[in-house]
Amino acid sequence: MKKGKLWGGLYAAALTGFTVWLALDTFVIPHVYEEAAALPAPSAAVATASPTAVPTVASAGGRSKKTTRQRTGNTSSAPVRQQTAETETASAAQVYDQDGTHIELTEYRISDTTVYVADVTLASPDALAAVLAQNAYGRNVTETPSAMAQRSGAVLAVNGDYYGARQRGYVVRNGVLYRDTVSPGQEDLMIDQNGDFHIIQEEEITAQALMEAGAAQVYSFGPALITEGQISVDPGDEVGRAMDSNPRTALAQVGPLHYLFVVADGRSTASAGLDLYDLAQFLRGLGAQTAYNLDGGGSSAMIFQGQLVNNPTTNGNRTSERSVSDIVGIF
């Protein structure tokens, strides 16, 4: 009897230990799979470069189908938020103008939420690049956005898609394909070598086809907020189990080599946060033709000229940067 209890206790202890180890291995212990490629050197590319054509893929019925999705619930007649009375003008300290890169950082106050918008124009698409935490691709490999921006020399940076928190979804950074595993239903942002934005569905095109089309970056978070100038989310749309009003991070393209880097504070008494539809309306009002939602919540962070701009928080009790897998920035 006592021997049986002993073996039962040892089995339970072993099972508990294995469960703890498995959880640590999955969510905590870093696993480096590949060293990150160096940032691309600036090129002489100009803003008039022709957009890269993203290949079409065959649907189940054999007909070719575009790799972008347009929701029909919102058209150009949808109301656009009026921002004029709520906008604070950027000060001289919030402007960067050097070597063909111009950045203006403006703070907006929208629906009890503070939103930071960096309006960016570039001379070369190579100035838009990504940085991986610890200069490595892997699982549970993280670093704060500020630390990544500082060591890489980014003039402007926001958090990326935190690819390391998931085991599926395409990962392409600076022209290197790191993960080609399809995540069902996943909508990605592909940035081509000319710096143009494309919204794609992973189930409709392979990662290798995107590489052949000239993918420089592929982010797998989402959803798309604006596609071909039209809002592509509906009121009430959300990301997983996220709250309606949240800190947000988004990237948008206005025109050739003209972008918006956007972070909204949230989860605090000072800033409520935005839902996806309000964020999409706001970006369309700023002229965005394509916009994509990146990782938000406690991950949302913006760094400009070495300074943390926003007030990242996970629970609203304190301001603290979350360590994440990657950033996207201007160099």
In a domain, 20, yes or no: no
Six token digits for residue 26: 């999955």
What is the rounded average pLDDT of the residues 2-15?
58
Number of domains in the chain: 1
Do residues 172 and 211 lie in contact, with contact meaning Cβ atoms separated by under 8 Å? yes
pLDDT at 75 over 80: no
Per-residue confidence band for 9, with pLDDT thresholds at 50, 70 and 90: low
Q: What is the structure's pLDDT at 319?
A: 83
The answer to whether position 16 is within a domain reads no
In a domain, 100, yes or no: yes
Lowest mean pLDDT: which of 118-132, 163-177, 228-242?
A: 228-242
Least confident of 73-77, 231-235, 247-251, 299-303: 73-77
Domain of residue 246 covers 36-330
Please report whether residue 12 resides in a domain.
no
Would residue 72 count as lying in a domain? yes
User: Which residues make Cβ contacts (< 8 Å) with residue 67, sequence separation at least 6?
Assistant: 54, 55, 56, 57, 198, 199, 200, 201, 204, 205
Which of the pair, 38 or 137, is modelled with greater confidence?
137
Read off the pLDDT of each residue in 129-138 and give the average, rounded to a whole number: 97
Q: How far apart are CA 251 and CA 206, in angstroms?
A: 23
In degrees rounded to 5, what are phi and psi of residue 264? -115, 130
Spatial distance between the Cα atoms of 34 and 261, rounded to a whole number of angstroms: 28
The predicted pLDDT at position 241 comes to 44
pLDDT tens readout for residues 83-92: 433 444 334 4
Between CA 48 and CA 57, with CA 54 as vertex, the angle to 5 degrees is 165
Picking from 100-104, 157-161, 172-176, 237-241, which range would have the lowest pLDDT averaged per residue?
Answer: 237-241
Contact of 136 with 300, CB cutoff 8 Å:
no
pLDDT digits (tens, 9 = 90+) for 29-71: 666 667 776 665 544 333 333 444 555 433 333 333 333 333 3
| Of the candidate ranges 24-38, 99-113, 146-160, 272-286, the one whose mean pLDDT is the lowest | 24-38
* pLDDT band for position 245 (cuts 50, 70, 90): confident
Cα 128 to Cα 120, 193, 204, 319: the distances in Å are 10, 10, 26, 28
Say which residues have a Cβ less than 8 Å from residue 101's Cβ, sequence separation at least 6: 120, 121, 122, 123, 127, 155, 330
Please give the pLDDT value at position 316.
73
Kindly state whether residue 15 falls inside one of the protein's structural domains: no
0.75 surpassed by pTM: yes
Whether pLDDT at 225 is above 70: yes
pLDDT at 153: 97
The C-alpha atoms of residue 35 and residue 294 are separated, in whole angstroms, by 23
Between the alpha carbon of residue 297 and those of residues 71, 188, 243, 281, 319, the distances in Å are 25, 19, 9, 19, 12
Using DSSP's 3-state secondary structure scheme, residue 92 falls into helix
Owner of token pair 């069902």? 184
Lowest average pLDDT, out of 14-28, 67-81, 231-245, goes to: 67-81
Per-residue pLDDT at 53 = 55
Q: What is the pLDDT of residue 318?
A: 81
Pairing, β 215-219 against β 230-231: unpaired
The whole-number pLDDT of residue 110 equals 93
pLDDT digits (tens, 9 = 90+) for 275-314: 999 999 999 999 999 999 999 999 999 999 999 999 999 8
194 CB contacts (<8 Å, ≥6 apart)? 45, 49, 50, 51, 52, 125, 214, 256
What is the pLDDT confidence band of residue 22, given thresholds at 50, 70 and 90? very low
Find, among 120, 122, 98, 104, the residue nearest to 46 by Cα: 122
Tokens of 38: 């160096």
Q: pLDDT: is 157 or 73 the higher one? A: 157
- Of 297, 295, 281, the residue nearest 325 (C-alpha): 295
* Percent with pLDDT over 70 in the chain: 71
Phi and psi torsions of 280, nearest 5°: -65, -45
- Which pair of tokens denotes residue 313? 């928080």
User: Averaged over 164-189, what is the pLDDT?
Assistant: 97
4, part of any domain: no
Sequence-ordered list of residues with C-beta below 8 angstroms from that of 82, at least 6 positions apart, any chain: 285
Q: Contact, 251 vs 301, CB < 8 A?
A: no
Rounded mean pLDDT, 87-110: 80
> Confidence band (pLDDT; 50, 70, 90) for 242?
low
